[in-house]
Structure 1
């Protein structure tokens, strides 16, 4: 494992970067600078339906415009599929995953499956739908696309905890606060949880800086990292930037996209100065 602080930026090219991305990325860069470490860049481009080359070019330009330095090369998740398939095979060999025909809608509509953390999070998977342990069908060979969802079997009742660099001690109970979660999708794509955990371990990331909306994901990724025998990084979850109505920013907020702010005459220095003058995140 590296002894030098290694952070990362991990934008997804599904739209233009906005002010919330800029603040999180600036905080990540500041924390790396303060530790005399490095900052890596990962292109989280697994969403085939929404990721576009022009958004990759735009995010690189916006990051450079903000003056945030990162250490090449940039890694793209779409080029790392063999790494994710190997991790999936390890989870399968440990009997920690199982195929699942239930859709996200099925889970969301199921009785006793409340939505757990917002529109981007997974509902709690009903334990009654989990198959018995010990009879897991084989995975397709690596050259054959996967055409069914696979879920990670969480250790019911286990307390999962971590000390967040901003939010302080965090804990959740597996099977209650979050349920069995997707690790591979039927469109032959690894889930965010698996790809993120595998990449952070492989890249030697020592601290993950990201938005507070991903705290629940951290519990899942900690379980995956443990199952894969990897050392977990530290975590720092930033408060979310909200709009005038108090809603968290999304890529549909074109008015606060960095491209829009630039055309309005704002400079990178003025944006960074705004971040510096805000209460400590």
Structure 2
């Protein structure tokens, strides 16, 4: 099958150099295979995602020299696919997972979680297993409540990382617990929406930041629940600032928009981070 990759920015803030490195690597990998690249806006977080960031993300991609070959026709140009337009499809998948007894409605509040010693393990919050039994009632409006995936304890999920060039393994129930696939605000979670979209769009390889390694393990559970073909996964090293902190929108890391407006040499900045290979 012809290689298919995707650029998938979340419009919750301005893109930074870390995004540039990942997106350039996505394009490089697909071009090497003479494949097809698509653009998908991952805007399922209604509170944080804004149209202004959609527009600036597209402008930044174009300024980086990144192009894509598929999407809604804008009259000689291709626009992005948009996740917020696929709510009906995500609901369909949630119902299928429910019929397989793989997800359950979860009315548990943050206060209840704290009362049950909700803590962090390996940087990931583990849902208390004893609370599952209190999550068997489906409300009148099933989409106004969180839904969680029922994680099978002890299952090991492994995949070969094409970028890190090594086998990665996580254990369900140890590295991560029951995770949210539908949010009470009426939108699918990142884990569910990404898997459904990558499956529907026949994405053959996923290249993204190393901070999403654990997400890959959770997403593999969804793929395997349906027997869907899994893409190859590759995770790029996380870029850090001068203080050794990872670049992140939440930390106000310097945006590509500001770098471009100041006429800074973003290519040299990537080379200074040891990422010259994404410019080959």
Does residue 80 in structure 1 map to residue 86 in structure 2? yes
Asked if structure 2 preserves the Cα contact closer than 8 Å seen for 1:157 and 1:175, the reply is yes
Over 6 Å off, 4+ runs: none
Asked if structure 2 preserves the Cα contact closer than 8 Å seen for 1:160 and 1:219, the reply is yes
Residue equivalent to 1:207: 205
Residue equivalent to 1:237: 235
Given candidates 65, 72, 76, the residue that maps to 1:67 is 65
Q: Where in structure 2 are the equivalents of 1:144-183 lying within 5 Å? A: 146-167=143-164, 168-183=166-181
In 2, Cα distance between the equivalents of 1:104 and 1:9? 34
Residue equivalent to 2:222: 224
Does residue 92 in structure 1 map to residue 94 in structure 2? no
Deviation, structure 1 residue 116: 3.4
Given candidates 125, 128, 132, the residue that maps to 2:127 is 125
CA-to-aligned-CA distance 1:194-236 (integer Å, 9 cap, x gap): 0011111111111100001100000110000111231111100
In 1, Cα distance between the equivalents of 2:118 and 2:45? 29
Q: Where in structure 2 are the equivalents of 1:131-150 lying within 5 Å? A: 131=133, 136-137=136-137, 146-150=143-147
Please list every run of 5 or more consecutive structure 1 residues that lacks an aligned counterpart in the other structure.
none
Asked if structure 2 preserves the Cα contact closer than 8 Å seen for 1:95 and 1:136, the reply is no
Residue 10 to residue 277, structure 1, CA distance change in 2 (3 Å)? closer
Asked if structure 2 preserves the Cα contact closer than 8 Å seen for 1:7 and 1:207, the reply is yes
In 2, Cα distance between the equivalents of 1:87 and 1:139? 18
CA RMSD, 1 decimal: 2.3
- Paired residues, number: 269
In 2, Cα distance between the equivalents of 1:255 and 1:187? 28
CA-to-aligned-CA distance 1:40-81 (integer Å, 9 cap, x gap): 111001111111111111111110011011123121000011
Deviation, structure 1 residue 145: 6.5
Asked if structure 1 preserves the Cα contact closer than 8 Å seen for 2:36 and 2:70, the reply is no
TM-score for the superposition, normalised by structure 1 = 0.88
Given candidates 27, 31, 34, the residue that maps to 2:32 is 34
Residue equivalent to 2:10: 12
In 2, Cα distance between the equivalents of 1:146 and 1:229? 25
Deviation, structure 1 residue 35: 1.2
Deviation, structure 1 residue 113: 3.2
TM-score for the superposition, normalised by structure 2 = 0.88
Residue equivalent to 2:263: 265
CA-to-aligned-CA distance 1:142-185 (integer Å, 9 cap, x gap): xx661111111011111111111123101111111111110111
Asked if structure 2 preserves the Cα contact closer than 8 Å seen for 1:23 and 1:275, the reply is no
Residue 147 to residue 255, structure 1, CA distance change in 2 (3 Å)? closer
Residue 138 to residue 255, structure 1, CA distance change in 2 (3 Å)? closer
Given candidates 192, 195, 203, the residue that maps to 1:197 is 195
Stretch of structure 1 that moved more, 38-47 or 264-273: 264-273
Secondary structure of 2:143's match?
coil
